[in-house]
Structure 1
Amino acid sequence: MAKLEIVPQQPDLWSQLRVAAEDAAREEPRLASQLNAVVLAHDDLAGALSFQIARKLGDAELGAMTVREVALSAFAADPGVVAAAEADLRAVQERDPAIRTLLQPFMYFKGFQALQAWRVAHWLWGQDRDTLAFHFQSRISELFQLDIHPAAKIGSGVFIDHGTGIVIGETAVVGDEVSMLHAVTLGGTGAERGDRHPKIGRGVLLGAGAKVLGNIVIGDYAKVASGSVVLKPVPAGCTVAGVPARVVACPTDAAPARTMDHTLADIAYDYVI
């Protein structure tokens, strides 16, 4: 579950993104210079993504040029970082009915942007550059209102929808193909140290406002209903709901993170807090 499984790069994604940017620049000339600087001036996704991260996170303390150099260093040292970003962008395309082209999440969706900036912070953490990793974490939190510890482990093909209020703790693990909505917390249960945060399996769907607390496993392809507080492990393929959460359906649909189906079985509505 902790292993990062990278989906091989699909060569047409960058072409699709460029075409979308070209179309948007023609349709909205006032944004043409922005689209050119962020997308069209670059040769590949790594170049554009490094520029996007830099223009968002750069500030008076750590300028955009320096941020971009750090991001490019991460991408060059670990090509899996860019491959994961591509899988994340594909995930948004497949799962978010609100988007029209790949340009929208790349340019304007903070869930996607925060996750890619976090991937650079996580690379820094792995290089024992903790202080700079924490700087990235702080800027991500200030800009996007997501607080993800740089030591956490997050797989590829992850979809963060809206993103506001998401908190992911230091020892949390998020598997491949997970989808989560705003205000999700993957936290601890107190001031204990060590391995203290949740382990989220592959293809899990975490509804808006879900709180998963403690070093517990949420099994592959499980579903956590919106607003639930999960304090115990969840079997693979099952749905939990409520405060505290209990199993209300087992099995659930085969790939809840892909279908984004937040509906519950009738038995869930018999649960009174």
Structure 2
Amino acid sequence: MIQSEIPVDRLWRSIRREAETAATRDPVFGAALSSAILDHPDFAHALACQIGARLGKTPTDRARFAQLARDAFAASPDLLDAASRDLQIIAVHDPAKTTLLPPLLNFKGYVALQAFRVSNWLWRQGRNDLALLMQSLSSDQLQVSIHPSASIGSSVFFDHATGIIVCAFAVIGDEVTILQNVTIGRKTSEPDRAPKIGRGVYLGGGSTIIGNVSIGDFAKIGAGAVVEHDVPPGCTAIGVPARLTNCPEQVSA
């Protein structure tokens, strides 16, 4: 878990302070910060604005998706808690970022993940067509396609976030890091045949996890690896087809 995790209200106050400082330092950038951050009363409204701005192709669409996100956050506050943890984990895993404002404004992977959380909420409400529309727009606009029936934990980081595909019914645990061009896919249409990714797993760029496989907690999947068999906790899988290396002693044999 994040050692210094802060609640949503404190997170929002930190973001506002960063925005006020940035606006003072750069008035041109400050004009954009007003509509993105400073004009909003809370984190829910600011995040909803980011989702609408990224997914909507017209002002009407942007307003519609922003309102949809606000409705989801109001009905299910746990979505905001997850969004807060996702934002904070970026400062833990990305050495280039120790503040909250830049990833909120500029990391499309972060916004794509929050758009997924809204689409997943819609899916669970039985509003499947709208959920799938959000997936399609995220794929078109952000190059991240996550089926709304997937399950994703919190403190998840999409690094670079281009070409990420997550299939229907996949399960991704807490504190997972996913790099660019990662595919998590099924071999069949059966819901229980999708991959299951454990807590703290690292999925390297261009890796593919396919079929009814389980990736154990804190395992690492190397760049470009193709995984079609289970990976035990703590092991590293590399190559095509993937082979295990650096396993804990008890599973190395």
Greater CA drift, 130-139 or 94-103: 94-103
27, 30, 34: which one aligns with 1:32: 30
Return the alpha-carbon distance in structure 1 between the equivalents of residues 56 and 41 of structure 2: 22
Secondary structure class of the residue paired with 1:63: helix
153, 167, 170: which one aligns with 1:172: 170
Return the alpha-carbon distance in structure 1 between the equivalents of residues 168 and 102 of structure 2: 30
Cα displacement (A) at 1:61: 9.5
Cα displacement (A) at 1:12: 2.5
May I ask how many residue pairs the two structures share in their alignment? 245
Secondary structure class of the residue paired with 2:140: helix
Q: With the length of structure 2 as denominator, give the TM-score of the two structures.
A: 0.92
204, 216, 228: which one aligns with 1:207: 204
Identity over the aligned pairs, expressed in percent? 47
Instruction: Kindly report which structure 2 residues correspond to 1:1-273, keeping only aligned pairs within 5 A, or say none.
Output: 9=7, 11-60=9-58, 63-189=61-187, 191-251=188-248
Return the alpha-carbon distance in structure 2 between the equivalents of residues 17 and 241 of structure 1: 39
Greater CA drift, 134-143 or 52-61: 52-61
Q: Is the 2:8–2:81 contact (alpha carbons within 8 Å) kept by the matching residues of 1?
A: no
Residues 46-104 of structure 1, C-alpha deviations (whole Å, 9 max, x = no match): 11101111122123496222212211111011110000000000110111012242111
Q: With the length of structure 1 as denominator, give the TM-score of the two structures.
A: 0.85
Q: Is the 2:150–2:170 contact (alpha carbons within 8 Å) kept by the matching residues of 1?
A: yes
Return the alpha-carbon distance in structure 1 between the equivalents of residues 92 and 130 of structure 2: 33
Greater CA drift, 21-30 or 237-246: 21-30
Q: Is the 1:185–1:212 contact (alpha carbons within 8 Å) kept by the matching residues of 2?
A: yes
Secondary structure class of the residue paired with 1:203: coil
Cα displacement (A) at 1:30: 1.3
Q: Is the 1:155–1:175 contact (alpha carbons within 8 Å) kept by the matching residues of 2?
A: yes
- Identify which of structures 1 and 2 has the higher relative contact order when contacts are C-alpha pairs closer than 8 Å and 6+ apart: 1
Q: Which amino acid aligns with 1:161?
A: D
Secondary structure class of the residue paired with 1:186: strand
Over the residues paired in the alignment, what is the CA RMSD in angstroms?
1.7
Flag structure 1 segments of 5+ consecutive residues without an equivalent: 1-6, 253-273
Q: Is the 2:146–2:167 contact (alpha carbons within 8 Å) kept by the matching residues of 1?
A: yes
